[in-house]
């Protein structure tokens, strides 16, 4: 291990906390003093502030991003066996909830540049049983929502945006109209897991929608399917954002655009340092979407990403492989119908991507050390 003065992390939650410590400590103490741990006033305030930020009619807070996806699918009233299309290259939660509800997950390959669902392949996967698509805004930028919405409209499909990684990013349609990630489809879902771009200090999540009826159903599902008090209209779950988390999120929501800007500054530093390095491809921007860099993910061209990871580890630099194994090859999700050759891009990405430290607290000295170390490995 090479000794340096740096303490570089994939995500520096402690450093970020230190900058808002007084405000956060006071807010958490206030919740404890009030003893309103569940459904406290902070939850309602955060809900309204997030609605304003996203310019969306309804935010429904819930317990985590996986619940948000599950509740969104439950709200659509699908039947067992209905097909739901999503991406092969995403976090498992997206696919897991489809299967849990006895729906049939149909995995589709991704675009080699943006890593988001390949819309042509998505359309080709539609059958008479397809009822919904779940595009994932991977690593911080939007999937091609304009094309996805056109296909969904043509085939009468619901669209649920998995926005766990891209909160705050903006998508611009060819009309010039701009909307926040997650507010374009029927329902958007997000996670406030601590390491997400808007993370709380535990678990948390939310759904958002402009559809009054879907909002009503989601609000009922999160609360055991209740309509009027103690009148149960449908099967529901227990999924709540607790008051302490809402209090933290109110403070961090006010910082979210600054956080996105800090991530973009780090990304620009990386982009610049690797611009002329043939062995790695820097993130390709979808010109319709801003990027909030949940991850800064490179594609290696002829270097072994695991050897690089080991080399960096010896210098105290974390490097993660998101994601190392396509979902269509996982024991939990594989079926005889899915053919490996249909997932050319995901297969290649799983063998070549690596993500460098990306957070709001990276200093130029740290970035210089990380980028020079990567370049040293490449030129070795």
Binding residues for ligand PLP, rule: CB under 6 A, are: 64-66, 90-91, 93-94, 136, 162, 164-165, 191, 193, 203, 205
Helix pair angle (93-100, 65-75), 10° resolution: 40
Maximum Cα–Cα distance across the chain:
68
Shortest Å, Cβ 317 to ligand PLP = 23
Shortest Å, Cβ 199 to ligand PLP = 9
Shortest Å, Cβ 354 to ligand PLP = 17
Partners of 21 in beta bridges: none
d(CA 378, CA 368): 15
Q: Give yes or no for a contact between 198 and 166, defined as CB atoms under 8 angstroms apart.
A: no
Q: Based on CB atoms, which residue is closest to ligand PLP, 130 or 245? A: 245
Shortest Å, Cβ 154 to ligand PLP = 26
Number of H helices and E strands in the chain, helices first, is 11, 12
Shortest Å, Cβ 64 to ligand PLP = 4
58 three-state secondary structure? strand
105 three-state secondary structure? strand
Q: Give yes or no for a contact between 66 and 91, defined as CB atoms under 8 angstroms apart.
A: no
Q: Based on CB atoms, which residue is closest to ligand PLP, 137 or 288? A: 137
The residue whose Cβ lies closest to ligand PLP is: 65
Q: Based on CB atoms, which residue is closest to ligand PLP, 164 or 303? A: 164
Helix pair angle (65-75, 212-221), 10° resolution: 120
Q: Give yes or no for a contact between 81 and 302, defined as CB atoms under 8 angstroms apart.
A: no
Shortest Å, Cβ 65 to ligand PLP = 3
Q: Based on CB atoms, which residue is closest to ligand PLP, 66 or 223? A: 66
Q: Based on CB atoms, which residue is closest to ligand PLP, 239 or 373? A: 239
Q: Based on CB atoms, which residue is closest to ligand PLP, 65 or 357? A: 65
């Amino acid at each position: 291990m090479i000794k340096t003065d740096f303490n570089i992390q994939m995500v520096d939650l402690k450093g970020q906390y230190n900058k808002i410590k007084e405000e956060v400590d006071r807010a958490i103490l206030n919740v404890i003093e009030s003893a309103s741990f569940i459904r406290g006033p902070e939850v309602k305030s955060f809900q309204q502030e997030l609605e304003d930020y996203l310019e969306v009619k309804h935010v429904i807070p819930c317990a985590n991003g996986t619940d948000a996806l599950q509740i969104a699918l439950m709200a659509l009233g699908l039947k067992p066996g209905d097909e739901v299309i999503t991406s092969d290259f995403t976090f498992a939660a997206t696919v897991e909830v489809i299967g849990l509800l006895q729906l049939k997950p149909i995995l589709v390959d991704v675009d080699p540049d943006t890593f988001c669902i390949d819309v042509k392949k998505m359309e080709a996967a539609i059958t008479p049983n397809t009822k919904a698509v779940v595009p994932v805004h991977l690593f911080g930028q939007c999937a091609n929502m304009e094309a996805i919405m056109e296909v969904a409209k043509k085939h009468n499909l619901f669209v649920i945006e998995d926005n766990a990684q891209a909160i705050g990013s903006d998508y611009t349609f060819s009309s010039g109209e701009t909307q926040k990630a997650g507010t374009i489809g029927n329902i958007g879902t997000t996670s406030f897991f601590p390491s997400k771009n808007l993370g709380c200090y535990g678990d948390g999540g939310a759904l958002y929608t402009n559809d009054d009826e879907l909002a009503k159903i989601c609000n009922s599902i999160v609360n055991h399917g209740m309509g009027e008090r103690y009148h149960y209209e449908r099967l529901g779950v227990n999924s709540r954002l607790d008051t302490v988390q809402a209090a933290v999120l109110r403070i961090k929501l006010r910082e979210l655009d600054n956080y996105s800007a800090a991530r973009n500054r780090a990304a620009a530093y990386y982009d610049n340092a690797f611009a002329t390095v043939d062995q790695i491809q820097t993130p390709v921007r979808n010109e319709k979407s801003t990027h909030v860099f949940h991850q800064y993910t490179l594609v290696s061209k002829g270097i072994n990403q695991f050897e690089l990871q080991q080399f960096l580890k010896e210098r105290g630099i974390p490097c993660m492989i998101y994601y190392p194994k396509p979902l269509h090859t996982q024991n939990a999700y594989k079926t005889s119908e899915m053919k490996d050759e249909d997932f050319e891009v995901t297969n290649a990405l799983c063998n070549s991507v690596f993500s460098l430290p990306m957070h709001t607290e990276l200093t130029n000295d740290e970035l210089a050390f990380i980028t020079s170390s990567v370049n040293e490995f490449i030129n070795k």
